[in-house]
Amino acid sequence: MTAIRQHDALAQAYDGITAVVAGLDDAALQRPTRCRGWLIADLLFHVLCDAQRALVALASPAAGPADVDDVSYWRAFTPGGNDEASLKHAWWARRSAAAFERPSGVVRLWTDTAPAAARAAAADPDGYVTTQRHVLRVPDFLATLTTEAVIHHLDLVVDLPDAARPAAAPTRVAVATVDVLLSDEAVRPTGWDDREYLLKATGRLPLTDRDRRELGEAAGWFPLLG
């Protein structure tokens, strides 16, 4: 996917999240998500931190070369590999979201920040950025943001059955990431659509006995992404 299309995919991913949360009142923003212990407002704050991180990284270009790409970046985040750090972050995000006078305050900050991050993403597609102690090409950085946004969009709507799901372009970015993590030695079960694939690849949904038969040895690699 070209850099400009990566920018478009990120913009669509963030627009999709905005479409979910913009019409929710304070009560609805306190509905549960797929992320253990997080309400919608808590999870939105977490994604807001990604958009803020994007603004900082894109405004602070780095010298190359890259040390990771859009797939190997995720290998540093081994699912379940640092439960203590994950729990600390989860608690911090909850307290930070709760510090707003009302849950809708997180939405207002998101709707200011996400479009700005998407616009900044169009700058210097041939450049490099540094984030979380890694250096990435800008297109690869945008792909990591898009993948996370798509997965968390699916997390946000677990208790919102009428909410729109992620758009096709950002979903393709997330699926491409998981495809490479799964490797060429295995393929996803034929009955999985993209959403089920992403939810099972990230441990949001458990593998069934049939899934394990179809995946064979590769079933032991799940979850592929935390």
- pLDDT tens digits, 208-223: 999 999 999 999 999 9
pLDDT for 194 beyond 70: yes
Q: Does domain 3-169 have CATH number 3.40.50.300?
A: no
Going by pLDDT thresholds of 50, 70 and 90, the confidence category of residue 162 is very high
pLDDT, tens digit, for every residue of 39-96? 999 999 999 999 999 999 999 899 989 999 999 999 877 665 556 777 888 899 999 9
Q: What are the pLDDT digits (tens) for 141-160?
A: 999 999 999 999 999 999 99
Return the CA Rg of the chain. Answer: 17
Q: Which residue has the higher pLDDT, 200 or 5?
A: 200
pLDDT at 4 over 50: no
List, in order, residues 6 or more apart from 16 with CB less than 8 Å away: 149, 153, 164, 165, 166, 167, 170
* Biggest alpha carbon–alpha carbon distance for the chain: 50
Residue 224: pLDDT band (50, 70, 90) is very high
Percentage of the chain modeled with pLDDT above 70: 96
Residue 130 β-bridge partners: 135
Distance CA 93, CA 159 (A): 20
Residue 110 is encoded by which pair of tokens? 């998101």
Using DSSP's 3-state secondary structure scheme, residue 37 falls into coil
pLDDT of res. 82: 54
Flag the least confident range among 18-27, 40-49, 125-134, 170-179. 125-134
Alpha-carbon gap, residue 176 to 31, rounded angstroms? 30
**pLDDT on residue 79:** 65
Distance CA 213, CA 217 (A): 9
pTM of the model: 0.94
State how far the Cα of 200 lies from the Cα of 206, in Å rounded to an integer: 6
Task: Verify cis geometry, omega within 30 degrees of 0, for the bond prior to 61.
Answer: no
